[in-house]
């Protein structure tokens, strides 16, 4: 059975499920970052993201492939965070539900702004030489410590810190230029 999305394009249930899974998979890191920024605890954030994924799956019928996924997913995550805060009310918390509610709106806006940087950053990462790209990958994608990176490349901690600082500066300049070029 097919349904029209808001653009009048037929979307089969299978296509819709596939698109849902693709969006959910692509946004896991952002979803985790959003939840963690509200809770400030890795373990609880992981639990809440898992709960959010379950709720999203249960609400797959509400998913509209023609609408942005992130606001919908973040809205559900916000309620899961508030529920978690309520359920752990007796525990000492980094934030309470009122503060989490205030922060969530600002965080959603900031997370959307990250999308503006994603494509230029990918372009700029692709322009780095292999050594610098590897350094960024190890530090930020594999989350290796400075000490571990230094040991594996045979450099001092200070040398790795300086190299990372220089690469981040290059990326910042490159991304800034890419964003200027994409302005209307």
Note whether 74 and 31 are within 8 A (CB): yes
Domains of the chain: 1-116 (1.10.1740.10), 128-184 (1.10.10.10)
- Rounded to 5 degrees, what are φ and ψ at 4? -85, 140
Query: What is the rounded CA–CA span in Å between residue 4 and residue 140?
Result: 40
Containing H/E element for 150? helix 146-153
Per-residue model confidence as pLDDT tens for the chain (184 residues): 444 444 344 568 888 889 999 999 988 888 888 888 888 788 889 999 999 999 999 999 999 888 888 889 988 998 898 888 877 764 544 455 555 555 666 666 666 666 677 788 888 989 999 999 999 888 877 778 899 999 999 999 999 999 999 999 998 899 889 888 877 6
Note whether 161 and 153 are within 8 A (CB): no
The pTM is what?
Answer: 0.50
Hey, what are 71's tokens? 């606001």
Note whether 81 and 104 are within 8 A (CB): yes
Paired residues of 4 in beta bridges: 10
Hey, what are 135's tokens? 């350094």
Hey, what are 163's tokens? 């190299």
């Amino acid at each position: 059975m097919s349904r029209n999305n808001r653009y009048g394009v037929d979307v089969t249930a299978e296509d819709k499920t596939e698109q849902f899974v693709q969006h959910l998979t692509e946004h896991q890191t952002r979803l985790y970052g959003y939840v963690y920024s509200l809770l400030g605890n890795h373990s609880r954030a992981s639990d809440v993201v898992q709960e959010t994924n379950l709720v999203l799956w249960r609400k797959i019928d509400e998913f509209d492939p023609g609408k942005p996924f992130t606001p919908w997913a973040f809205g559900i995550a916000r309620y899961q965070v508030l529920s978690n805060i309520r359920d752990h009310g007796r525990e000492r918390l980094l934030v309470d539900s009122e503060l989490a509610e205030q922060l969530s709106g600002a965080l959603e806006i900031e997370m959307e702004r990250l999308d503006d940087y994603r494509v230029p950053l990918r372009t700029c990462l692709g322009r780095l030489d292999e050594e610098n790209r590897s350094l960024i990958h190890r530090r930020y994608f594999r989350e290796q410590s400075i000490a571990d990176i230094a040991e594996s490349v045979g450099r001092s901690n200070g040398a790795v810190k300086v190299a990372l600082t220089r690469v981040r500066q290059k990326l910042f300049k490159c991304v800034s230029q890419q964003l200027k070029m994409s302005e209307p």
